[in-house]
Amino acid sequence: MRLGYSVETVRAAEGELMARLPEGALMQRAAAGLAAAAAGLLGRVYGARVVLLVGSGDNGGDALYAGARLVRRGAGVSAVLITPGRAHTAGLAALLRAGGRVADDPYEVLAAADLVLDGITGIGGHGGLRPDAVPLARAAHGSGAVVLAVDLPSGVEADTGEVGGEAVRADATVTFGAYKTGLLIDPAREYAGAVRLVDIGLGPHLPSVPELEALQHADVAHLLPVPAAESDKYRRGVVGVVAGSARYPGAAVLAVAGALRGGAGAVRYVGPGSDAVIARFPEALVHGWPPSKAGRVQAWVVGPGLGDSPGVDEVLDSDVPVLVDADGLRGLDPAVVRARSAPTLLTPHAGEAAALLGVAREEVEGTRLASVRALAAKYGATVLLKGSTTLVADPDPRRAVRVNPTGTSWLATAGSGDVLSGLTGSLLAAGLAPLDAGSVGAYLHGLAARLVSRDAPVSAHDVATALPQAWRDTTTP
Ligand X SMILES: Nc1ncnc2c1ncn2[C@@H]1O[C@H](COP(=O)(O)OP(=O)(O)O)[C@@H](O)[C@H]1O
DSSP single-letter state for residue 290: P
DSSP single-letter state for residue 264: -
Nearest distance in Å: CB 157, ligand NPW: 10
Residue 27 contact among ligand X, K ion, ligand NPW, none, beta carbon within 5 to 8 Å by kind: ligand NPW
**Cβ-based neighbours of 75, under 8 Å, separated by 6 or more:** 42, 45, 46, 47, 48, 49, 50
Nearest distance in Å: CB 330, ligand NPW: 40
| Residue 154 touching K ion (CB under 5 A) | yes
Q: At 103, phi and psi to the nearest 5?
A: -70, 140
Residue 118 contact among ligand NPW, K ion, ligand X, none, beta carbon within 5 to 8 Å by kind: K ion
Considering only residues 412 to 471 of the shown chain, the ones binding ligand X according to CB under 6 A are: 412, 414-418, 420, 445
Task: Say whether 260 sits in a helix, a strand or coil.
Answer: coil
The DSSP H or E segment spanning 28 is helix 25-42
| Residue 432 touching K ion (CB under 5 A) | no
Considering only residues 114 to 133 of the shown chain, the ones binding K ion according to CB under 5 A are: 118
Nearest distance in Å: CB 152, ligand NPW: 6
Rg of the chain on CA atoms, in Å: 25
Considering only residues 330 to 389 of the shown chain, the ones binding ligand X according to CB under 6 A are: 349, 386-388
| Closer residue to ligand NPW, CB minimum distance, 180 or 340 | 180
**CB atoms inside a 10 Å sphere around CB 452:** 20
Residue 390 contact among K ion, ligand NPW, ligand X, none, beta carbon within 5 to 8 Å by kind: ligand X
Is 161 marked as binding a ligand?
A: no
Is 386 marked as binding a ligand?
A: yes
Whether 383 and 370 have beta carbons less than 8 Å apart is answered as no
Q: At 423, phi and psi to the nearest 5?
A: -60, -50
Nearest distance in Å: CB 390, ligand X: 5
Cα–Cα dist 337/346, whole Å: 10
Whether 18 and 177 have beta carbons less than 8 Å apart is answered as no
| Closer residue to ligand X, CB minimum distance, 151 or 418 | 418
Nearest distance in Å: CB 56, ligand NPW: 4
**Cβ-based neighbours of 403, under 8 Å, separated by 6 or more:** 4, 184, 185, 212, 213, 214, 389, 390, 391
| Closer residue to ligand X, CB minimum distance, 91 or 303 | 303
Nearest distance in Å: CB 176, K ion: 11
Residue 341 one-letter amino acid? S
| Torsion angle (degrees, nearest 10) of CA 42, 45, 49, 52 | 80
Residue 18 one-letter amino acid? M
Is 154 marked as binding a ligand?
A: yes
Binding site: which residues?
58-62, 118, 122-128, 151, 154, 251, 305, 349, 386-390, 417-418
Residues that bind ligand X (CB under 6 A): 326, 349, 386-388, 390, 407-409, 411-412, 414-418, 420, 445
Residues that bind K ion (CB under 5 A): 118, 149-150, 154
